[in-house]
Structure 1
Amino acid sequence: MFDRRPPSPVFEYYCYQATVSFGFFSPIFTLFLLDRGLTYTAISSLSMLYAVLTVVGEIPTGYVCDRIGRRNSLLAGSAFMTVSIFGFAVVESYLGLAALYVLWTLSLVFRSGSGDAWLYDTLEAELDEGRFAHVRGRGQSVRQAVTVVAMLAGGVLYGIDPTYPFVASGVLNGAGVFVLFALPKNRQYADGNEDDTHFTVLEALPVLRDRLTRPPLRSFVLYAALFFGVVEAANTYVQPISTETLGVPVASMGLLYAAFTGVSAVASYYAGAVKDRLGVRGAMVAVPVALGVSLLAPVAWPLLAFPTFFALKGSRSLLHPIVTQHVNDHVESVGRATVLSAVSMAYALVRLPLYLLGGVVADAATPVLAVGVLGAVFLAGVAVVRSVSSPVGGVDSGPTSG
């Protein structure tokens, strides 16, 4: 009955997830930036700016989220995102695009810890926090279902006018602001004022130290950061490889990305089932290693880029709910958003050199070789992390006592 008739907070969460799609412009975003005259290195520099700002902003915005409330942080994030998306329709200069990336990053760091913290605390208070991976995965599937439809329209809109996909996406994300007002507030953080718990900046620091610099999360977060970092860096080259190397028409990129999203939606939907079947340890071993090997394949035969791209999209959607639940299970409610934001900060730190490496190799050689180099670096990093410490030690996953 939980799956067939979701309770009200879960249903409202699904509605919110439907509005945070970038499907209208995601199939053509890199092509759009290249059309603006940017090189791969310049595009990588914008991605690095995003990563640096994430490092700087994650913990402060996570702390703000714990103070002002989860829903208020989500509202701020949706508002900033809507403005930045509309901005891409009118800004053409590199400096202007960099300013939009600043606004984009501010939006994402407000969302990064607050969304998952809101969901986990809501399930813990009203339903069952053990369902987090299931609800998070299904919410992601809702977003991806909307994204499929948006992608199909996005390719057509781009052919009419390159700015139309951004206008459509701005309208969709703007609707999320109104949806969020229907989202219930966490009782403990109803207006950012805790009932009996006062979480200060000085109290945030030991929470981060205790949770992220010691087992069980220390090596796990590093391992996950390496995986997500390579996925994000390799994603940059999906569009140029598809259009330039594989000959996919630009107008058909929406259809290709819709297929990617369909696979991602299925992977996300079954994230909870995979966790139940393989455990956190099994999933975190099998999926990343398989992805690393697949990233090397297009170097030998470019046509293998097609299955590699599907693996790239699906693996991230599969592991993200599993990774997030494992982190949540080892963090208390007080300061949860701060810790989750610190985890996102670690992800951004690892992405920095990967973005730069990919951009330099793509400009000096080809995007295909850039993807292969990222795959080789990833497998080497996995070997190093696992030789030092098991990313998931002891029991697979379980909540710690308060």
Structure 2
Amino acid sequence: MRDAFRSRTVRTFAATQFLMEVQFWFPVWLIYLLDLGFSLATALLADAVFRIVSVVCELPMGVLADRIGRKNAYLLTCGLSAGTFAAITFISNDAWLLGAWIAWGVLWALNSGATAPYLYELCAMEETPVDPAKAFGLVRAVGNSAVVCSLLAAGYLYDADPRLPFAITAGLSVVAMILAARLPSVPRSHDTRLRSILLSIRRELRGADVRRAVWIGALLLFFGWSARILFQPLALDLDLSPQVTGWMYAAFAAAGVLGSTISGSVTRRRRRVAVLAAFVCIVLALASTAAADHLGPFLFLPVMGFGYALGMTVVDVYTNEATSRAVRGAIFSVAAALAGLGIAVARPALGLLSDDRSPAFAAGIWAVVGVGVVLIALPAIRRIPAALGPDRQSTFPWHTGDSMRDGSGH
């Protein structure tokens, strides 16, 4: 990762992501809503609305990111983040809650297609191109470090004022927007007309590598992200204080730093093993939590965090390599939309199941589902290529994957 760190552009992007990845809100958002007087059912309904909005908006936001340019899409993400979290601090009734969560869903959808393609193309623009695997590993590790720091502070901030975790997140998003303005723009050599982009999306999805990357990414996102709805119910069931809950999330994120760091050293030939290991880590963590839930917060959940960060970083690089420049944002959004369809059902179901039975029981059920998910994903994982086809001419000297070609599909 030292080579990636030498790049001023990558360092600036990593610093921006540090500010954007803070999650002061993560351990306390459910507690915050409950303390405001909302019922658990209403909170889970808001989460479901968030998921539905994110799914509906994924492809439109991905197309928007491809049309307006990488830098503009990234700046818009920073601005929308600031507005959304600021709005959460003013929640006072059901309508305001749903409005804030709808905005959050739009933000989630835009982020899917705005961040990873921008970083990948910035790597190719450097005078000495940066290995994207190392750059992604570095940026993800820095981002997860921000998560660790913010989660450790979340409980203390919440005790000082329940609105602080969200207000600080909004403020840092403004700082991130200012810093992101210093990043270079990526030249657009492809046709940005809507009809042309939609045709390019259809053309890309005919490619085996693109379909495989989308399928694997969607399954990993669906399985790994859905499981996170169990974290706060588990903390409440174990009677953990907000501060200890913050430490639990921090341990999860710290393991993610390790997973992201290791991902930078994963070669093409080892991608299959790394992605399969990611799924297996999540399944084992859930099964172990079901068997001994008191060990979950600081032993089993970090295993999940390690696997999820490792797998998602590797899949992000693979998806960028497999996809043409013109529609990278849209293809990432397709994967996120597919995952979102499942997440919108799975998260409320798991939340209600943990409330009706127990978080440990819900974790056990999800582990069983995970075995099925692994079996479904396995054929695609086994076909992840050790090298892309000879038609993919590369700007990067260490692989044959396309990076800055136009959107012609050839």
Q: C-alpha offsets along residues 199-257 of structure 1, whole Å, 9 cap, x if unaligned?
A: 33222333333333552333443333222212222211212212322x32222222332
Structure 1 residues 360 and 4, CA gap change in structure 2 (3 angstroms): closer
Deviation at 1:287, TM superposition (A): 2.1
**1:3-402 matches, cutoff 5 A:** 3=3, 5-126=5-126, 131-186=131-186, 188-189=187-188, 194=189, 197-212=190-205, 214-245=207-238, 247-273=239-265, 275-276=266-267, 279-306=270-297, 307-386=299-378, 389-393=379-383, 395-398=385-388, 401=392, 402=410
Q: How far 1:385 moved relative to its partner?
A: 4.2
Deviation at 1:177, TM superposition (A): 1.2
Q: Is the CA contact (8 Å cut-off) linking 1:30 and 1:240 kept in structure 2?
A: no
Alpha-carbon distance, 1:47 to partner: 2.5
How far has the Cα of 1:323 moved from its partner? 0.5
Matched residues, number: 391
Shift of 1:276: 1.9
TM-score normalised according to structure 1 size:
0.89
Greater relative contact order (Cα < 8 A, sep 6+): 1
1:325–1:127 distance in 2 versus 1, CA, 3 Å: farther
Shift of 1:326: 0.8
Judge conservation of contact 2:4–2:135 (CA < 8 Å) in 1.
no
- Cα distance 1:231–1:94, how it changes in 2: closer, same or farther (>3 A)? farther
1:28/1:394 CA distance change after superposition, 3 Å: closer
Distance in 1 (CA, whole Å) between partners of 2:121 and 2:264 is 18
Alignment-mate amino acid for residue 311 of structure 1: V
Query: How far apart, CA to CA, are the structure 2 residues paired with 1:360 and 1:33?
Result: 16
Given that 1:199 and 1:335 are in contact with CA atoms closer than 8 Å, whether structure 2 keeps it comes out as no
Corresponding residue SS for 1:150: helix
Residues 4 and 329 from structure 1, CA distance in 2 versus in 1: closer, same or farther, beyond 3 angstroms? closer
**8 Å CA contact retained: 2:4, 2:130:** no
Alpha-carbon distance in 2 for matches of 1:224, 1:289: 15
What is the Cα deviation at residue 130 of structure 1?
6.9
Unaligned runs of 5+ in 2: 393-409
Task: Quote how far apart the aligned CAs of 1:374 are.
Answer: 1.6
Shift of 1:358: 0.8
How far residue 72 of structure 1 moved from its aligned partner, in angstroms, is 0.9
In 2, the alpha carbon distance for the partners of 1:5 and 1:213 equals 36
Give, as a single letter, the amino acid of the residue that structure 1 aligns with 2:386.
Answer: D
Instruction: Verify the 8 A CA contact 2:197 2:326 in the aligned structure 1.
Output: no
Whether the 8 Å CA contact 1:17–1:139 is kept in 2: the answer is yes
State the Cα distance separating 1:180 from its structure 2 match: 1.3
For residue 119 of structure 1, report the CA deviation from its aligned partner: 1.3
* 3-state SS, counterpart of residue 3 of structure 1: helix
**Offset of 1:85 from its aligned partner?**
0.7
- 1:293-333 per-position Cα deviation (integer Å, ceiling 9, x unaligned): 32122222222423221122222211111001111111111
Q: Name the aligned partner's letter for residue 275 of structure 2.
A: M
Measured at CA, do residues 127 and 310 of structure 1 come closer, stay the same or move farther in structure 2, by a change above 3 Å? farther
Distance 1:39 1:201 in 2: 43
Q: Is the 8 A contact 1:226 1:350 kept in 2?
A: no
Q: Look up the equivalent residue of 1:373 and give its one-letter code.
A: I
State the SS of the aligned residue for 2:361: helix
Distance in 2 between the 1:298 and 1:149 partners? 25
- Higher mean C-alpha deviation, range 276-285 or range 340-349: 276-285
Report the aligned-residue RMSD: 2.4
Q: Which runs of 5+ in 1 are unaligned?
A: none
Among all aligned residue pairs of Structure 1 and Structure 2, give the percentage whose two residues are the same amino acid. Answer: 21
